[in-house]
């Protein structure tokens, strides 16, 4: 079963705009990761934030984590048509001896030129 | 290409037939994972190998499913007596022992008629 939910399920924006997607999860975690999936393809890792971190940046990506609310957000700034994809958050639950990832339901992002 | 590879990329089979998928992880990655992804959902964990040892299996992995990693390198996932509900994308991922990020292959899309 899915660990959490992502919001919105779908997002449509114009190139140059920012895109924000949110993820909520249910259990205590070691870390939270964001992955991108182009249509019908495998997943690509974007960024990882540990449970003791509150914010992390990587290029045009900014991730926040609020463990008290069990939620995270991914911000993509100055979006491009190539950012069109599905975005998934994935949590590594606490007390797992390995990195079993539990994925959310995903946000489908469409960036129009 | 030194990424994770999966074969075949697409498989169409009739209900009741057996199918086998192969995953070649990134060389020297100790950990190997199988996930299943149905349309519009995030990937769901199926099983995990550390070297040749299968350390965890999800309840999703019924008795009709078997996975092996005989020499700690490539892995196979076999589904016996396929059912229409088995139609999904089967994703393989690998990671080094002490690394949080998982590297995904392109997936095998199974269609059971």
Domain count across chain A = 1
Greater confidence (A6 vs A76) lies with A76
To the nearest whole angstrom, how far is the Cα of A80 from the nearest Cα of chain B? 23
Q: Is the Cβ pair B105, A42 closer than 8 Å?
A: yes
**Domain housing A31:** 5-112
Q: What's the pLDDT at A100?
A: 82
Per-residue pLDDT of chain B (113 residues; tens, 9 = 90+): 579 999 999 999 999 999 999 999 999 899 999 999 999 899 999 999 999 999 888 888 889 999 999 988 999 999 999 999 999 999 999 998 777 889 999 999 999 99
Q: What's the pLDDT at A3?
A: 60
Tokens describing residue B48:
């995990």
Out of B41, B91, B101, closest to residue A105 by CB: B41
Q: What CATH number should be reported for the domain holding residue A78?
A: 2.60.40.10
At B65 the three-state DSSP class reads strand
Positive or negative, the Cα torsion across A111, B1, B7, B11?
Answer: positive
B2-7, long-range: CB < 8 A, 24+ apart: B2/B26, B2/B27, B3/B103, B3/B105, B4/A42, B4/B92, B4/B93, B4/B94, B4/B103, B4/B104, B4/B105, B4/B106, B5/B105, B5/B106, B6/B90, B6/B91, B6/B92, B6/B105, B6/B106, B6/B107, B6/B108, B7/B108
**Chain B contact present for A42, CB below 8 A:** yes
Tokens describing residue B35:
């996930």
Please write the tens of the pLDDT for every residue from A4-45.
688 899 999 999 999 999 999 988 888 899 999 998 788 999
Q: Is the Cβ pair A99, B43 closer than 8 Å?
A: no
Nearest CA in chain B to A4: B42
Interval A63-87 mean pLDDT: 97
Interface test with A, best of B32, B42, B44, B108 (most A CBs within 10 A): B42
């Amino acid at each position: 079963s899915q660990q959490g939910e992502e919001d919105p399920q779908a997002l449509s924006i114009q190139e140059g705009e920012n895109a924000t997607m949110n993820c909520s999860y249910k259990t205590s975690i070691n870390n939270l990761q964001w992955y991108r999936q182009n249509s019908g393809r495998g997943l690509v890792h974007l960024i990882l934030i540990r449970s003791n971190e509150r914010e992390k940046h990587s290029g045009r990506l900014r991730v926040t984590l609020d463990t008290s609310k069990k939620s995270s957000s991914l911000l993509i700034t100055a979006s491009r048509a190539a950012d069109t994809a599905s975005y998934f958050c994935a949590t590594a639950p606490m007390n797992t001896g390995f990195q079993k990832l539990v994925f959310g339901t995903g946000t489908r992002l469409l960036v129009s030129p | 290409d030194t990424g994770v590879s999966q074969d075949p990329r697409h498989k169409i089979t009739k209900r009741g037939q057996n199918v086998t998928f192969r995953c070649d992880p990134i060389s020297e990655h100790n950990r190997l994972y199988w996930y299943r992804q149905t349309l519009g959902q995030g990937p769901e964990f199926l099983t995990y190998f550390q070297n040749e040892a299968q350390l965890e299996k999800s309840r999703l992995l019924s008795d009709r499913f078997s996975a092996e990693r005989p020499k700690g390198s490539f892995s196979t996932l076999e589904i016996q007596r396929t059912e229409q509900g088995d139609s999904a994308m089967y994703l393989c991922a690998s990671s080094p022992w002490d690394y949080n990020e998982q590297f995904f292959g392109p997936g095998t899309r199974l269609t059971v008629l």
